Structure 1
Amino acid sequence: MPAVAQTTFNRLAVFATPDNMAEGEDRSRPTSAEIISASEDGNTVVYSDSPLGVLGFVDITDPAAPVPLGNVAMDGEPTTAVIIGNRVFVGVDTSTSFTEPSGQLRVLDLESHEVLASCDLGGQPDSVARADDGSFVAVAIENQRDEDLNDGALPQMPAGYVVKLAVTDGALDCDGQSRIDMTGLADIGADDPEPEYVDINAAGEIVVTLQENNHIVVIGADGAVASHFSAGMVNLDDIDTRDDGALSFDDALADVPREPDAVKWIDADHFATANEGDYQGGSRGWTIFHRDGTVVFDSGNSFEHAVIQAGHYPDTRSDAKGVEPESIEVATFDGTPHVFVVSERGSLIGVYDVSDVTAPRLTQLLPSGISPEGIVALPARNLLVTANEADLGEDGGARAHVMLFEATDEPARYPMITSEGADTLIGWGALSGLAAGDAPGQLFAVSDSAYGAQPSIYTIDATQTPARITARTVVTRNGDPAQKLDLEGIAPDGQGGFWLASEGRSDHLIPHAIYHVDAQGEIQGEIGLPVELLAHEVRYGFEGIALQGDRLWMAVQREWGDDPAGQVKLVSYDLQTEEWGAVAYPLEPAGEGWMGLSEIAIDGDWAYVIERDNLIGAAAAVKALFRVPLSDLDPAKLGDTLPVVTKEKVRDLIPDLQAQNGYVVDKVEGFAIDAAGTGWVVTDNDGVDDSSGETLFWSTGDMRAAQ
């Protein structure tokens, strides 16, 4: 019998939430895409946007080209919306305080967006779910706690509950709503239940998570509590519990409450939970429960380890919730039942085949965008859609967005580089410089100050797809991880060691310097910058290093104080004479952002540089590879008038950055030509801090054929 092709998911498009703003509206205002749902025909998605207090509507009839349908003001904070027929049912939090929670369930027309009705819920709504047959909706009334009061400890009254409302021909039976009591069930905070998430199975049974109470409740089709049980504890090893700028997975946590957030039925007897956990380390995984409370599967540390291997581990959350599984979705694609696990802080989606609920199989990791909060599967249209809540527009970063993925039998396009398969668990990220080894496809990369407590050199095998990080070498000084480094460039020294360029920042006491390390990463020598350079220092220093015979060349990222406008330096250092020199490099005209260099590599008769702006998404204008003839690299003495090199554009990198159908990232930071003449490019994911965590890695083909 021929093998069944495995379903894969590849990104189709990204939709930025500001695109839903009306003409003339201030697009700089913070927005969000939080919980997302879809119309029954799968052509429209609706997401909650609490910063704007609106519901956002998007037409995905053509999923590769989403069309904005505008925002609808909710006069409160929308939490979750579900759609039955041509009616949208949305929970709206109207609370003025934690002690006096209030909220409504509002009904909108899907086409006109008119608000048709409102039901008072008596408390603060969180999750809303619809029955499969559209006959009723259930609402989790969380009445959430004040996390700044008594360290967020329970109880904090009033208690939460679940509301069940009948739906007939699109109309809610507000007067006939039933309030299902959750008090007295949990071992933790029994008198203060906080229902977090609800889901309804085909039999009309409701499963409810009480996250802060670490409890799960099953409500029968008759509206009465049928069963309830503790979500239990997990023990975790080989994890990182310290926010210290180091990727060290040698810690352990014992008896950690799962504290599940989202929950979804898999079948009549099983449901899956995303275990967000709380702030004391976090449970970091997901679980499949039998309806009687039996745990039939728990991911333990395996989901987080997969995120680590993909370069998406958020070290700044190590002391809190780690990768923080937040949402979960269940759907069957091409006959195979899937569970999709959303890592909010890792900005990644784990795709699992749950044909055997006792042994789920991780088949793929998807780059969801920044801080995914919601997810909806549309198997009838072969689509998966995520809502990503973080809006970094105020800092010049990516805006909140919706991302669409297509189910296909084509190869997965992501990840493009991974440490999966290495002999030990290798955490990595913030790849900021690239260099070639002696063999085809052998590359080396360095990480920057995002992991400053553990600066590292990574060995990459680019002959595999995806490329594999096979080893990590920590840069050390006297045997301990070297501090005060911001590595941005790497070049083999020809003797098994490396030359490393560190971008200094004097206001952070990080020196601008060149370091020589041996094959074990131990620093053998340090070369500080001369006063002729430091006298004109600007924080943006060396962003690449290359070796030409006995001379090192370093690219300075941006203009220093003595540079003419629109020019930066390529600085040289003669290893024999210890003399410094430089040439001037003319930058492309600056647009809305700044222009600068982020890499230098030498191959044959050419020096290659990456030139880029610092802009993201549609605003990005210049991300390109240029080359300069080595004959132009005739350095003048520092302080003298520098000769200006000629440059030639080799490749526009923006189409490469668009190939994943996401937004264009800003930091293209590494380039190298390997021993076979193949060019390779890598992006810096900022250590998954205010970033999607995506690392893009690709080949620019045979670079010597054009020489």
Structure 2
Amino acid sequence: MKRTFLSLSLLLTTLLISCNKDEAEFFVNEDAATFAEIGSIDIGDAGAAEISAYDPQTKRLFVVNNSTVNKIDVIDFADPTKMKVISSISMAPYGGAVNSVAVSNGKLAAAIESLNKQENGKVAVFNTADYKEVKVITVGALPDMITYSPDGNLILTANEGEPDATYKNDPVGSISIISVNENYAVTTLDFSGFASQQTALMAKGLRIFGLNATFAKDIEPEYIAVADDSKTAWVTLQENNAIAKLNLETKTITAILPLGFKDYGVDANAVDISDRDNVIALSKWTNIKGMYQPDAIAFMQHAGIPYLFTANEGDAREYDAFSEIKRVSALKLDATAFPNATDLIKAEKAGRLNVTTTLGDTDGDGDYDFLYSLGARSFSVWNGNDGTLVFDSKNELDTKVIAVPNLYDDTRSDDKSVEPEGITVGTVGNKKVAFVGMERVDAVAVYDVTIPTSPVFLQILKCGDAPEGVLFIPAKNSPTQKSLLVVSSENDGVIKVYKPNTL
């Protein structure tokens, strides 16, 4: 018995040493404030390089490319300084455009919309080694984003369910949960069960406003983040200005968390809302607000609390049969709320600002008491348990971009400004770091979020035209054994790779 006990103790000690050695080998002491470009590749024009996913097994990058034909380009990423396209996977057999890709355990999953966008879409799964099809699964209409759970057991899609131009064909928005180990069995959830809560949710900032739409049809899922334990997920409902919470063990939607609004009448939230004032100047604006309307979302656990990071892009419904957006100059403003209306509606003031017509007439008398613009020109951090806002970058993205010569685009001041769209969180050295892609200034902001309630700005990285995909590759999975940031830009098809300095 004594010999057996000693043998087991020796084995356990050996295993612990081995595990600690592995962790030590994967830790790289890096400076998160020193990311710099090390590689670049151009794979097409507009519509190329939208979203990228990396496979550490094959050291390949899989990139959405809808520039000429719908396909996924495969890039040799063994040396990020010398990237090259080595193959492509055609999406023609599966439907229309491919919108998103994700990789786990040697399997590539692609979210593909139908040729008729209002019909159910598909998820196609391929081997990353030989690109052979593994499975094709039917999901909801217009799967716009796809991700694996961290444990690799689930594939999730956010099915946006947009209406057609006439607004007569409006599918329900939904979320599909695919069980990888159950022969890719799929469960697709919609939001019809929350219809009875519509009034209460709208009072907290949820937007339900589509043309003759039911509650379930009006909800439009956009992007998904999954907890590290793979038990909970959160989904942005961009047009609806909310986040949905899911229990992945029971495969149920457990809550809708409305996000409320941002006040541009506060000093810290001062913004430039004119593209015709011939100057870049941040000012306060009374009774003008922003709708958070997040696109991308990322997860981080800290001190037992789930935190959600959102890129508050903003988006409007604009269709032939229904458009919610007008310039402030085209609206009738309440004389009490806006006593300076005659001056305010000038092009060099607030007249050019795009706002929604679905909010703001609080007393129903036909004029606007408040003005609500698209997005919040920021990134935010929310408590994932109850949706409480714990941090907002206020106007810091604007101010940091303005500080870089010739980077801020004043022609976008009237419409979402820097337009934060992508966000991801990773570990660099001893720090947790957030990367925020800003579509309209072709740049990524880097923040130290080790304390998620108090992010600290680190640097601005210039990238390609309209960054869509912001992918962080941790050192342990990287082909260089160093942390890497991959930014994919949809307007010029350029993919750029960045690396921090090692300390």
The aligned residue for residue 224 of structure 1 is 252
Deviation at 1:274, TM superposition (A): 0.3
Corresponding residue number in structure 1 for 2:311: 274
Q: Is the 8 A contact 2:60 2:75 kept in 1?
A: yes
- CA drift at 1:158: 1.7
For residue 413 of structure 2, the aligned residue among 309, 312, 318 is: 318
Match of 1:300 among 380, 386, 394: 394
Q: In the alignment, what sits opposite 2:179?
A: 166
Match of 2:229 in 1: 203
Instruction: Give the structure-1-normalised TM-score.
Output: 0.51
- Answer whether contact 1:40 1:83 (CA < 8 A) is retained: no
2-side partners of 1:41 and 1:85: how far apart? 8
Aligned residues of 1:42 and 1:378 also touching (Cα < 8 A) = no
Q: How does 1:688-707 map to 2 (within 5 A)?
A: none
8 Å contact kept, 1:38–1:46:
yes
**1:177 aligned onto 2:186:** yes
1:126 and 2:144 matched: yes
Matched position secondary structure for 1:303: helix
Unpaired runs of 5+ in structure 2?
1-28, 209-214, 316-353, 356-372
Q: Check the 8 A contact 1:245/1:315 in 2, yes or no.
A: no
Structure 1 position 33 matched with structure 2 position 53: no
AA in 1 matched with 2:127: D
| Distance in 1 separating the partners of 2:116 and 2:490 | 23
Residue matched to 1:157: 170
- Is the counterpart of residue 386 in structure 1 residue 487 in structure 2? yes
**Kept after mapping to 2: 8 A contact 1:141/1:194:** yes
Aligned-pair distance for 1:157? 2.4
C-alpha distance in 2 between matches for 1:83 and 1:158: 28
Contact 1:241 1:319 (C-alpha < 8 Å) held by counterparts = yes
Contact 2:160 2:222 survives alignment (8 Å) = yes
Contact 2:280-2:410 at 8 Å conserved across structures: no
Amino acid at match of 1:341: V
Distance 1:243 1:172, change over 3 A: farther
SS at 1:266 equivalent: strand
- CA shift, 1:374, in A, is 0.3
Instruction: Give the direction of change, closer, same or farther, for the CA distance of 1:65–1:159 in structure 2 (3 Å limit).
Output: same
Cα distance in structure 1, aligned partners of 2:136 and 2:284: 48
Map 1:123-522; keep pairs closer than 5 Å: 123-145=141-163, 157-168=170-181, 172-173=183-184, 176-183=185-192, 184=195, 187=202, 188-189=207-208, 190-191=215-216, 192-204=218-230, 205-221=232-248, 222-236=250-264, 237-244=269-276, 246-253=278-285, 254-267=288-301, 269-278=306-315, 280=355, 281-282=373-374, 283-291=376-384, 292-311=386-405, 312-380=407-475, 381=478, 382-391=483-492, 400-409=493-502
- Trace 1:544-555 onto structure 2 (pairs within 5 A): none
Opposite residue 290 of structure 2, the aligned amino acid is V
State whether residues 215 and 231 of structure 1, in contact with CA within 8 Å, keep that contact through their aligned partners in structure 2. Answer: yes
Equivalent residue for 1:104, pick from 98, 117, 122: 122
Closer/same/farther in 2, CA of residues 261 and 5 from structure 1, 3 Å limit: closer
- Please say if residues 151 and 229 of structure 2, whose CA atoms lie closer than 8 Å, have aligned partners that are also in contact: no
1:308 shift after superposition:
1.4
Quote the offset at 1:202 in angstroms: 1.6
Instruction: Extract unaligned runs of 5+ from structure 1.
Output: 19-28, 392-399, 411-707
2:82 maps to amino acid = A
* RMSD, aligned α-carbons: 2.2
Deviations 1:606-643 (CA, angstroms, capped at 9, x unpaired): xxxxxxxxxxxxxxxxxxxxxxxxxxxxxxxxxxxxxx
CA distance in 2, matches of 1:325, 1:206: 22
Q: Which one has a larger percent helix, Structure 1 or Structure 2?
A: 2
- Shift of residue 351 of structure 1? 0.5
Q: Which AA in structure 1 matches 2:221?
A: P
Q: 1:317 to 1:145 in 2, by over 3 A?
A: farther
Aligned to 2:414, what secondary structure does the other structure show?
coil
Looking at structure 2, the residues matched to 124 and 172 of structure 1 have their Cα atoms a distance apart, in angstroms, of 23
Residue 17 of structure 1, aligned match among 39, 43, 59: 43
SS of the counterpart of 2:257? strand
The one-letter code sitting in structure 1 at the alignment partner of 2:238 is Q
Whose Rg is larger? 1
Partner of 1:48: 64
Q: Which amino acid aligns with 1:167?
A: V
Q: Secondary structure at the match of 1:158?
A: coil
Q: Aligned partners of 1:177, 1:313: CA distance in 2, in Å?
A: 44
Mean Cα deviation higher: 325-334 or 137-146: 137-146
Contact 1:44–1:61 under 8 Å retained in 2: yes
Higher relative contact order (CA 8 A, sep 6+): 2
Mark the CA change 1:249 to 1:214 in structure 2 (over 3 Å): closer, same or farther. same
| TM-score, with length taken from structure 2 | 0.71
* CA distance in structure 2 between the partners assigned to 1:5 and 1:121 by the alignment: 41
TM-aligned CA distance change 1:5 to 1:209, over 3 Å: closer
